[in-house]
A and B are shown apart, each in its own frame.
Chain A
Amino acid sequence: MNTHFLQVQGLKKSYPGPGKSPETVIFEDANFNIEKGEFICVIGHSGCGKSTILNILAGLDEASDGVVIMNEKEVSGPSLDRGVVFQNYSLLPWRTALQNVTFAVQARWPEWSKERILEHSHRYLDLVGLKGAHDRKPSQLSGGMRQRVSIARAFATQPQLLLMDEPFGALDALTRGVIQEELIKIWTESKQTVFMITHDVDEAILLSDRILLMSNGPKARIAESVKVSIPRPRKRTDIIHHDNYYTIRNHLVDFLVNRSKLVSEDESAKQPYPKEITFPE
């Protein structure tokens, strides 16, 4: 009856206030859909509940209201169908890079032979450019390399939906650029559906098909859904020359600076969120 790969309807997260004071609503009435193979980025100020939405999609957190439906089934609890790349990498420090990946591969396909698991894991580590570092422990890897291991671990399990919580937040600009390009490469090959949180407007434009903009919390909303109408394949050096690049960028920045505050105050409007915004190519 529905044709969307992932549907989020009326999602809300709130915490009970102390004593009899009213509850604190982090965000409410979050509605959006994701199609198969789409790359979605979410941008919003700190505290608007981006990470909470991601954790609910991952099944690590529970919503106070609303549903998440993936493949026509309601999401409850974590699952290997939804891979997560955490902001702080979350590698197991007593395992080598390779063992961190085999850990996931083995969990995904327990019936596989040792050789097959190893072969599969090696392949994904090579794919993120970690040739020669397979046997190093996370403590012997740089921040960028750790995040690559984490990405390899997530992609290796071939989840139906990949959730990334500010994966490049802790990296320097140069490393970030390199890994973004690698991410595009892997994503193009695997046609994975990705839901990613970022703070970086340029990163969002470079990577995503659609950008969800969240207004400020408390009572945050997913206010706008902006289509990134720039053709692929995209390169960081080329997209800035595209006519839509600055139109979209200005729209996003304007939202973050000016309009993100207003949405939550604008209770009377009662318009259905998010507003769909498309700039013609």
Chain B
Amino acid sequence: MFNSIKLKSALLSVVLLVLLLGVWEGIYQAPQDSKPLTEYELLMGGATQEARVPPPSEIIKLGYEELSDPFYDAGPNDKGIGIQLGYSIYRVTVGFLLAALIAIPVGFLVGMSPLMYGALNPFIQVMRPISPLAWMPLALFIIKDSEISAIFVIFICSIWPMLLNTAFGVANVRKDWVNVARTHELSHIKTALLVILPAAAPTILTGMRISIGIAWLVIVAAEMLVGGTGIGYYVWNEWNNLNLASVIFSIFMIGVVGMFLDMTLAYAARWVEYQE
């Protein structure tokens, strides 16, 4: 029963998790019962009492509470974790899809035409290394809407990996397959749809996977800046409240959602994969 590698690694994962949480729990010392404060301490606001990173048990308890009612909405500063994550996922999805809508056709163009590649490459090379957050002030000034600005930042950061991968995939379609299309007198559009797109699809999907990963990294930072809603704002807000259990729980949730986003695209990639 315990001889398959998969099962053994799963077991080892659980052991490591328990060990890690156990050590964390063990080194946690609850703040000592404070003696009556001296006048000086009172003046200093009891500053000697340190805030401590909460133990796992406290975080799990909070997590359970949050997840049992994830969608409550009690005003602008008190929304459930589900709502906050929902806002972030919504922004990432919209920005990502808009980027795909532009990156894939432009990538096709760049990949198929050496002329367009030469003409657009300098722009791409300069724009690509710009941190997406550097666009934020300009976006806020021009768009004058924090919501759309956040989406724009996602858009601008997801466009490059998709564009470059599409161009690379399209440019490297095996010449033989293109020749097959040519000897069958396929039109340019049919060649693109029937031969080049399926041939380049795995590379394009890889680009999309990289993009959504980056988009999920960037949305947290973007929401910390624009505020209002979203998981990034939530983490920052809980930090301001010095609610560290909440901060740690959110960090964990960001990881889980990011993993699911990646898995979705990995699953989609399996549909277009082929073996030569």
Binding site for B on A (CB under 8 A): 58-60, 78-80, 82-84, 86, 88, 90, 92-94, 103-104, 107-108, 137-139, 157
| Complex contact A58–B195 (CB within 8 A) | no
Residues of B within 8 A of A78 (CB): 179, 182-183, 185
Given contacts A59-B183, A108-B184, A139-B274, 13 further A-B contacts (CB under 8 A): A60-B179, A60-B182, A78-B182, A78-B185, A80-B184, A80-B185, A84-B183, A90-B179, A92-B195, A93-B274, A93-B276, A94-B272, A139-B275
Cα(A94)–Cα(B195), bound, Å: 10
Q: Do A93 and B185 touch across chains, with their CB atoms under 8 A apart?
A: no
User: How far does the alpha carbon of A115 sit from the alpha carbon of B103 in the complex, in Å?
Assistant: 38
* C-alpha spacing A83/B194, complex, angstroms: 19
Chain A interface SS verdict (over half): loop
Interface presence of B257 (CB below 8 A): no
Contacts of B176 in A (CB 8 A): 86, 88, 90
Give chain B interface residues in 179-208, CB to chain A under 8 Å: 179-180, 182-186, 194-195, 198-199
B interface bracket (residues with beta carbon within 8 Å of A): 10 to 19
How many angstroms between the C-alpha atoms of A148 and B259 in the bound complex? 44
Asked if B275 and A137 make an inter-chain contact with CB atoms under 8 angstroms apart, the answer reads yes
Closest to B194 in A: A103
Question: From A55, which residue of chain B is reached at the shortest CB distance?
Answer: B179
Say whether A107 contacts B184, CB under 8 Å.
yes
Q: Could you name 11 residue pairs across A and B whose Cβ atoms are closer than 8 Å? A: A90-B176, A90-B179, A92-B180, A92-B195, A92-B198, A93-B275, A94-B272, A94-B274, A103-B184, A107-B184, A137-B275
Contact partners of B274 in chain A: CB under 8 A? 93-94, 137, 139
Given known A92-B195, A92-B198, contact A58–B276 (CB-CB < 8 A): no
Q: Is the CB of B186 within 8 A of A107?
A: yes
Alpha-carbon separation in the docked complex, A86 to B176 (Å): 8
What does the 1/0 interface line of B128-166 toward A look like (CB < 8 Å)?
000000000000000000000000000000000000000
Q: Say whether chain B's binding surface is mostly helix, strand, loop, or mixed.
A: helix
Q: Does residue B239 face the partner (Cβ distance < 8 Å to A)?
A: no
Q: Is residue B64 contacting chain A, with contact meaning CB distance below 8 A?
A: no
**Residues of the A chain whose Cβ atoms lie less than 8 Å from the Cβ of B194:** 103
**CA A107 – CA B195 in complex, angstroms?**
13
Contacts of A157 in B (CB 8 A): 184
A108 to B184, CA, bound (A): 7
> Among the listed B180, B186, B272, B275, which residue makes an inter-chain contact with A90, where contact means beta carbons less than 8 Å apart?
B180
CA A60 to CA B183, docked complex, whole Å: 8
Minimum-distance CB pairs A-B, first 5: A139-B275, A94-B274, A107-B184, A90-B176, A78-B182
Q: Which residues of B contact A108 (CB under 8 A)?
A: 184
Minimum C-beta distance from A155 to chain B (A): 14
In the assembled complex, the Cα of A40 lies from the Cα of B96 at a distance in Å of: 56
Residues of A within 8 A of B272 (CB): 94
With A and B bound together, what is the CA distance between A107 and B274 in angstroms? 23
Q: CA–CA, A109 to B197, complex, Å?
A: 23
Decide yes or no: A79 and B275 within 8 Å by CB, A90-B177, A92-B195, A103-B194 being known contacts.
Answer: no
Q: Which residues of A contact B180 (CB under 8 A)?
A: 86, 90, 92
> Chain B contacts of A139 at CB under 8 A?
274-276
CB distance from B182 to the nearest CB of A (A): 4
A88–B272 CA distance with the chains assembled, in angstroms:
23
| B198 x A58 contact (CB < 8 A) | no
Which residues in window 222-276 of B have CB below 8 A to A?
272, 274-276
Flag if A94 contacts B185 (CB, 8 Å): no
Provide the residues of chain B in CB contact with A84, threshold 8 Å. Answer: 179, 183
Q: Smallest Cβ distance from B185 to chain A, in angstroms?
A: 5
Q: How far, in angstroms, from A88 to B185 measured CA to CA in the complex? A: 20
- Asked if residues A79 and B179 are in contact (CB atoms below 8 Å), the reply is no
**Within the assembled complex, what's the spacing in Å between the Cα atoms of A210 and B237?**
85
- Complex Cα gap A90–B198 (Å): 15
How many Å lie between the Cα of A83 and that of B186 in the bound state?
A: 13
Please state if A79 and B276 are interface contacts (CB–CB under 8 Å).
Answer: no
Q: Looking across the interface, which residue of chain A has its beta carbon closest to that of B272?
A: A94
Query: Which of chain B's residues have a CB closer than 8 A to the CB of A60?
Result: 179, 182-183
Select the residue from A83, A86, A92 with max chain B CB neighbours within 10 A.
A92
CB distance from A278 to the nearest CB of B (A): 34
**Contact across chains for B198 and A94 when beta carbons are under 8 A apart:** yes
* A58 vs B185: C-alpha distance when bound (angstroms): 12
